[in-house]
A and B are shown apart, each in its own frame.
Chain A
């Protein structure tokens, strides 16, 4: 028998603390669609996605209704398109992008990820063609997301790829200049990309994954913030060990929701269940913010001294609670700090509490990286590449995933506002040091070798 206190406490989590399942992402392996003819490849892609995902949205909605917990986003991640279209030209790659976009619209998913290449050690022919086609593909499509893995702990950092991505990002921004460079919001550059991320824009289906798999991403920053607020109101003298324990317990509950719903969706679709991604993912809504948690913990704003320590504690507690709640954990698993997608973090950027340098420091203790950061439109490709190289180095040396989603907003400068719309949010453009000057380090190119794993310091 459930106690009324248990029931009322859970209802509060659902109704006033924005507890939802952020995404159910269906991974689809498209390698069996490979064909020498682009039209035939696109036909096979369309058929396979339609077949596997035709019931995805309706099943997610039905299961969400059953438990009273909305599945906010339904998405698809596919095999890296650089592999599928390896022999093709740029126009043919674009045809694949449009096929993915049209099919995603047909099955009513909001994003489809996997317009991706893995180039940490070097480029194959298809990788170069795919990267060349990314700006146009992202500018012309609505739902396609792209990712490029340019570094790994085992391979080092492909600095040629980093530099190429700098100019790719500039071009993507230019091609969507009328929408503040929104194409860049659908492009992630990674170090150590996981094969099973359910969150966009980094989701793709790795080659070690099953033919089809359901991965889910949980959410819950609002739930964590309210739990901290309630506990501190009742017991203002709580120390950080006790607060960490509280976050852990809350993360456990949030993750159980993901596990329960994800497994039921997978069962009903007859598709294998993959992982729960234990991430605190904000949205641009009041009460659904990771930034607000910093204030609940006693900081003036995210970005002020103490923020990295607070984030380290938060991230670790979320992982500990979540890992106990789920049988299989994967993806990015950590707190996200996407500037434009979190009202509170965007406000910290506007007020000057948060700089790119502080964000970079914080990404050494959480998942993702410099995420949804709007920078001045005249930032050079070399500087963008240099920012990415710094972020990749954090990931490679610390054996963790890091990524960047940088948006050089065309025609706008530091302090101006950029608007991306919907879940992508809006943000004040952050200043960049050495934005236009030459960067001879980056243009050396080559590959920074993989790090040594003994002699840790």
Chain B
């Protein structure tokens, strides 16, 4: 048995997950994880599956292309690399939110500060409808901040970068959202 990662990209339409999972089932493969998202009219899905040793991942990619091609979708298959043996370093999860007028380079600019302080983005949602209405242009990053990071310096730099970009930057520990939203 071997583990592979399959990514599927294209125009969103009904039946994509069903088509991929049906083929994997027919090929005696087992899906371990699936995640999909739709942005505007685009679809992106990631599958992690265990496939028989007798099935080469390049052959799987070809079989997927045959099924998904007519649907206007592309699939890429890669063998899954083993994850790191060591647990991730101690960290705290923060939610960083920005609101402000739209302009080019907002995501690049904010994520550069996050990367410089070794923050790991675990989830990111951004909507830019354009214009100057701050509520129409929002970025939300869930970020694991390593314990070794100087939080005060990190947050001060984020706020300063936000000010340069006319963005209102909010930084809160993730627990507050969990506490308020979930029972």
Contact residues of A with B, CB < 8 Å? 1-2, 4, 6-8, 10-11, 13-15, 66-69, 253, 256-257, 259-260
A68 vs B176: C-alpha distance in the bound complex, in angstroms?
9
Q: Are B180 and A2 in contact (CB under 8 A)?
A: no
B128 → chain A closest CB, angstroms? 13
Closest B residue to A254 by CB, please name it.
Answer: B180
Q: Indicate whether A7 sits within 8 Å of B176 (C-beta atoms), given known contacts A1-B123, A2-B123.
A: no
A327 → chain B closest CB, angstroms? 13
Q: Are B125 and A4 in contact (CB under 8 A)?
A: yes
Q: Indicate whether A2 sits within 8 Å of B176 (C-beta atoms), given known contacts A7-B95, A8-B138, A10-B181.
A: no
A204 vs B179: C-alpha distance in the bound complex, in angstroms?
29
Which of B125, B135, B138, B180 is close to A10, meaning CB atoms less than 8 Å apart? B180
A residues near B91, Cβ cutoff 8 Å: none
Q: Are A260 and B142 in contact (CB under 8 A)?
A: no
Q: Indicate whether A2 sits within 8 Å of B170 (C-beta atoms), given known contacts A7-B140, A67-B175, A67-B176.
A: no
Closest A residue to B99 by CB, please name it.
Answer: A11
Q: In B129-146, which residues have CB < 8 Å from any A CB?
A: 135, 138, 140, 142
A residues near B173, Cβ cutoff 8 Å: 66-68
Closest A residue to B178 by CB, please name it.
Answer: A2
A41 vs B134: C-alpha distance in the bound complex, in angstroms?
58
Q: Are A260 and B172 in contact (CB under 8 A)?
A: no
A residues near B25, Cβ cutoff 8 Å: none
B172 → chain A closest CB, angstroms? 4
A144 vs B114: C-alpha distance in the bound complex, in angstroms?
46
A14 vs B176: C-alpha distance in the bound complex, in angstroms?
11
Q: Are B180 and A253 in contact (CB under 8 A)?
A: yes
Closest B residue to A66 by CB, please name it.
Answer: B173
7 A–B contacts from the bound complex (CB under 8 Å): A2-B123, A4-B125, A7-B97, A10-B177, A10-B180, A67-B172, A256-B179
Q: Does B171 contact A (CB under 8 A)?
A: yes
Q: Are A4 and B138 in contact (CB under 8 A)?
A: yes
Residues 86-126 of chain B, each 1 if its beta carbon lies under 8 Å from chain A, else 0:
00000000010100000000000000000000000001010
Which of B97, B123, B127 is close to A11, meaning CB atoms less than 8 Å apart? B97
Residues 152-181 of chain B, each 1 if its beta carbon lies under 8 Å from chain A, else 0:
000000000000000000111111111111
B residues near A260, Cβ cutoff 8 Å: 175-176, 179
Q: Are A6 and B181 in contact (CB under 8 A)?
A: yes
Q: Are A68 and B174 in contact (CB under 8 A)?
A: no
A69 vs B170: C-alpha distance in the bound complex, in angstroms?
11
Q: Are B179 and A259 in contact (CB under 8 A)?
A: yes
Q: Are B170 and A68 in contact (CB under 8 A)?
A: yes
B residues near A13, Cβ cutoff 8 Å: 180
A245 vs B117: C-alpha distance in the bound complex, in angstroms?
44
Q: Are B123 and A257 in contact (CB under 8 A)?
A: no
A residues near B174, Cβ cutoff 8 Å: 2
Q: Are A7 and B179 in contact (CB under 8 A)?
A: no
A374 → chain B closest CB, angstroms? 37
A393 vs B146: C-alpha distance in the bound complex, in angstroms?
58
Q: Which 8 A-B pairs have CB atoms at the shortest separation, nearest pair first?
A: A68-B172, A67-B176, A256-B179, A6-B181, A260-B179, A4-B125, A253-B180, A66-B173
Closest A residue to B142 by CB, please name it.
Answer: A2
Q: Are A2 and B138 in contact (CB under 8 A)?
A: no
A residues near B123, Cβ cutoff 8 Å: 1-2
A residues near B179, Cβ cutoff 8 Å: 256-257, 259-260
Q: Are B170 and A15 in contact (CB under 8 A)?
A: yes
A442 vs B156: C-alpha distance in the bound complex, in angstroms?
62
A226 → chain B closest CB, angstroms? 15
A323 → chain B closest CB, angstroms? 13
A253 vs B176: C-alpha distance in the bound complex, in angstroms?
10
Q: Are B127 and A4 in contact (CB under 8 A)?
A: yes
Closest A residue to B152 by CB, please name it.
Answer: A65
Given contacts A256-B180, A257-B179, 17 further A-B contacts (CB under 8 A): A2-B123, A2-B140, A2-B142, A4-B127, A4-B138, A6-B181, A7-B177, A11-B170, A14-B172, A66-B173, A68-B173, A68-B176, A69-B176, A253-B180, A257-B176, A257-B180, A259-B179
